[in-house]
Amino acid sequence: MLTVGAAIIVHVLSTRSSKIEISILLGIIAVYVMFFVRLGAPERSHLMEYSILAIFIHKALAERAQHRKPKLAPAILALIVAFLIGILDEFIQKTLPNRVFDPQDILFNGFAVIFAIGSSTLLNWIRNRRNN
pLDDT per residue rounded down to tens, the chain (132 residues): 666 666 666 666 666 777 888 888 888 888 888 877 877 766 777 788 888 899 889 989 988 988 888 788 999 999 999 999 999 999 998 898 888 888 888 888 899 899 989 988 888 888 888 776
pTM higher than 0.75 for the full model?
yes
Buried b or exposed e, range 5-33, using 16+ CB within 10 angstroms? eeeeeeeeeeeebeeebeebbeebeeebe
* DSSP state letter for 39: S
Domain of 38 in residue numbering reads as 2-131
Instruction: Look at the chain and report how many structural domains it folds into.
Output: 1
Neighbours of 122 (CB within 10 A): 14
Tell me what pLDDT residue 29 has.
81
Cα distance between residue 127 and residue 17, in whole Å: 8
